[in-house]
Amino acid sequence: LSTVLKKYKTIPESILAAIVFQSLWGLAYLRHEKRVHRDIKPQNILCDSKGNVKLTDFGISRALEDSMNMCMTVCGTFKYMSPERLNSEPYSYPSDIWSLGLVIFECATGEYPYPES
C-alpha cells in the first residue's frame, strides 16, 4: 500500500473501500485469535494486482489471554499509534482500528491527518 501511495498520492474511493473491507476482515480474524497487531501502517498492508489485501509484519503483535486483557508496552510506528498508546495507557484491539483509520485518511487525502514534527 505504501508503494501505491508514493506513486499515486491518493487511492480512489471504490478501491480504498475494498482495501478497508479486507483489512477489517484481517483485524477481525486477529481479534478472533486474541491478537493485537500493534503496527498497522501502509507498509504493513500488502495489495496485489488482483485486489487481494494482506496484513503483514506480525513481529510485534501480541497474544492476549482473553478479549478483556490489555497491552501496556509502547512499540510500533509512532506516527500510527492510538492516543492511549502514545500516553502509555492500557490498550487492546481498538488501537489497531485507530491505526487503520489513520491509514484510511492518508490514502483518501494523500496527507497524514496531523502535523508531523
Packing angle between helix 13-32 and helix 93-109, nearest 10 degrees? 170
Residue 90 CB burial class (10 angstroms; 0-12, 13-18, ≥19): exposed
Confidence category of residue 33, pLDDT binned at 50, 70, 90: very high
Of the two residues 116 and 98, the one the predictor is more confident about is 98
Hey, which residues are catalytic here?
A: 39
**CA-to-CA dists, residue 103 to 20, 64, 72, 78, 93, angstroms:** 9, 24, 23, 13, 16
Model confidence pLDDT, tens digit, residues 34-88: 999 999 999 999 999 999 999 999 888 888 876 667 877 778 888 999 999 999 8
Q: How high is the pLDDT of residue 117? A: 65
**CA-to-CA dists, residue 101 to 50, 53, 65, angstroms:** 23, 16, 26
- What gap in Å lies between CA 39 and CA 55, rounded to an integer? 10
- What gap in Å lies between CA 105 and CA 13, rounded to an integer? 11
Domains of the chain: 2-61+70-109 (1.10.510.10)
